[in-house]
Structure 1
Amino acid sequence: MDILLAVTVAYVIFLIISKLTAPKVEHVSGKMLDEMLGDKTNKKQYIDVRTAGEFNSRKVKGFKNIPLDQLHKRMKEIDADMPVVLMCASGSRSMKAAKILNKNGYKTIVNVKGGISSYPSK
């Protein structure tokens, strides 16, 4: 019984720590991204973390390509004081990028939920 209690307490502590250390990320849909891109009064940085090949096969105007595996080396290209909008193919790599940026002091991070596949084709 003591082992079960200890495991339960450890799991609860793990959940609390995970929640507290999770990046503070706003999620937007592809449609909301389209609206954001159309609003020129709102200054944001748009970063696509897909590979160069993926990026070149389908680009969204306004996005800069910084592949996830290059993010640490190229982080100085992203202004920590400006909101950052992240996108990948499905939303998972951009969430990894959000965690990296969050740990490095970036405050306003937006993830495109569903990635480029959720963005309306034009």
Structure 2
Amino acid sequence: MKYILLALIVVIIISVFRYFRQRNYLKTLTEDQFREGYRKAQLIDVREPQEFKNGHILGARNIPVTQLKQRLVEIRPDKPVYLYCASGARSQRAAQILHKKGYKDLNQLKGGFKKWTGKVKQG
């Protein structure tokens, strides 16, 4: 029992550490803040292609997080990157990958596409 408790405490400590470290390089923006800056940035939808086809933010490019490492050449490191997924988990994972590769200006949509009320393109 004490080993399970110890393991649980270690997992919680690691999760808290990652959360605070990620806040240093990934800005989580409200929809209004996101809308203010995404037209001057690289807007990337990191969901899978089928999700993208069912609807995405107007002007977004689809680079699924599962393909991100192979498609880094499509993302300029000198321009801001605005990421979103369905709820926020995959955009955080994408930001972690980009951060490790030297990308600096990383932003994500708070709540993901599910919370987006702006213009949407189908197909």
Q: Same fold (TM over 0.5)?
A: yes
Unaligned runs of 5+ in 2: 1-5
Q: In structure 2, which of residues 45, 50, 57 is the aligned counterpart of residue 48 of structure 1?
A: 45
Aligned residues: 109
Q: CA RMSD in A?
A: 2.4
Residue 108 (1) aligns with residue 105 (2): yes
Matches within 5 A, 1:1-122: 18=18, 21-22=21-22, 24-37=25-38, 43-122=40-119
Q: 1:51 to 1:16 in 2, by over 3 A?
A: closer
Query: How far does residue 35 in structure 1 lie from its aligned partner after superposition?
Result: 3.4
Q: Which structure 1 segments of 5+ residues have no match? A: 1-6
The whole-number CA distance in structure 1 between the counterparts of 2:50 and 2:102 is 29
**AA of the residue aligned to 2:52:** F
C-alpha change, 1:98 and 1:46, in structure 2 (3 Å) is same
Once structures 1 and 2 are overlaid, which stretch shifts more, 21-30 or 46-55? Answer: 21-30
Q: Which has the larger radius of gyration?
A: 1
Deviation string, structure 1 residues 28-51 (Cα, Å, up to 9, x no partner) = 1223323334xx5xx210000000
Q: What's the TM-score, normalizing by structure 2?
A: 0.76
For residues 44 and 91 of structure 2, what CA distance do their matches in structure 1 show? 9
TM-score, normalising length: structure 1:
0.76
Q: 1 CA distance for matches of 2:71 and 2:90? A: 16
**Residue 57 of structure 2 contacts residue 118 of structure 2 at CA under 8 Å; is this kept in 1?**
no
Tell me, what secondary structure is at the counterpart of 1:46? strand
The DSSP-based 3-state class of the residue aligned with 2:43 is strand
Q: Report % sequence identity.
A: 38
